[in-house]
Structure 1
Amino acid sequence: MPDPSTSGGLAAMRVDYDMPPFDVRDLAPTWHEQLVAWLAAAATAGLPEPNAMVLATADEAGVPSSRTVLCKGVDARGVVLYTNLTSAKSHDIRMTRVASATFPLYAMHRQVHVRGGVEEVSTAESDAYWATRPRGSQLGGWASAQSSVVASRLALEDAVVAADRRFPGEVPRPPHWGGWRIVPDRVEFWQGRHDRLHDRLRFERDGDDHSWRVRRLAP
């Protein structure tokens, strides 16, 4: 194994992908069915957190940020994540109303890239998902002013204790917590192949009629 502590070692790191051919005929009828199928395959294969995705946003000045979040919903409408609605990512989304997300299914030599506009999910959907969260996660949602500076770890833990005392029974969803849905105009499915001649198939929205077409991209 090359030594990653040296520039030469990093340059020498390389994996030869050996996946079978992946062509248009192999795709599901829709992008969301294909994404669900690949996520299911990743879960079956035992990949840790197969629903993890790298969410990229930009602020009003165009400065980008990225972070790993968990996808909590996929259907024909888009890809859903839940978060603090006053966080840095939420601020970016409110300013630009666009985002992208990449599912890095590295162990399967696959990745999926989603790009499009963003909308807030309904109150009912946010309430339904909030109810499935463990109590500790719910208390954390009240205690953490996500992305803000915190004085210390102890201050954060004290805020959790205070939230626990405030809500001895059911923990309601905070007004500052909810979901965002990326409504894609493009969804790319990437599968690694020999000699870096990867297969890249992209669903694209075709005009304003809400239909989709598929294009193959050069690797």
Structure 2
Amino acid sequence: MSTVDAKCKFRNGVYYFDEYGESPIWDITLTNAEPFIPLDIKEIDCILPNPYEQGSLIIASDRYYYSDKNPFEALQEYAADYSFADYTVMSSCLRSFGSFGGYKSPWLNPFFALCPLEGISNTLWINPLRIHELEYYEGQLFATFHSGQIICLPIQLRSAMQRIDVTCLAFATLRRECFYFTNRGDRPSHYLPMSDSPFSNKLAKRPLLETFSIPYGKLTKRYNEALLFHSYTKLEYDMLQKDLF
């Protein structure tokens, strides 16, 4: 599939995952990856599209899993197995508020969130709170995760931070409504399970994470209403299809 290429080494000599499959780490990792079983994974660091064929690589800490589905389909399977929120319905809710972006929404559950970053051929999903550092090296943007894995991101820093900010704001909003906190903070950053890392320390100071954009309880209320409407619409459609055939 790929050949050893000095371009695919980070400054510490460690190979990184690139978008095009030029790094030799792809071959090694895909060969040794475990089958993707959602209930075996508590938290996802990132989901990368397979650069060679249909499928995706799921990284969870220092373990690797392979799925023959694309990243979004694998994520949908994970959400279904855990009975997490429906992505389509949650995306519609987030967009309706006007403060969580209007393009591709983050994927949320009460325990972690994934931020979508688009490459040329596919979208990868990263967990912002598992990033140790985000930095440029030789003109490209790299994310180093707590596990030591390094990924070359197909996006500029400013765009990446905008999407990460929105993801963390939405995640904090959901956590504030889903969990009981003895001491409730007034900043979104107070509800994020951040580590003591260079990236998290910078993230905690981001302007978008200083104030909540919607009142307490609004997100889950609107989601439940939208889910009811979505379920009713689907039921009507299924009944119509049954009558037709």
Question: Taking structure 1 as the reference length, what is the TM-score of the superposition?
Answer: 0.26
Q: Which has the larger strand fraction? A: 1
Higher helix share: 2
After TM superposition, the score normalised by the length of structure 2 is 0.24
Of structures 1 and 2, the larger Rg is shown by: 1
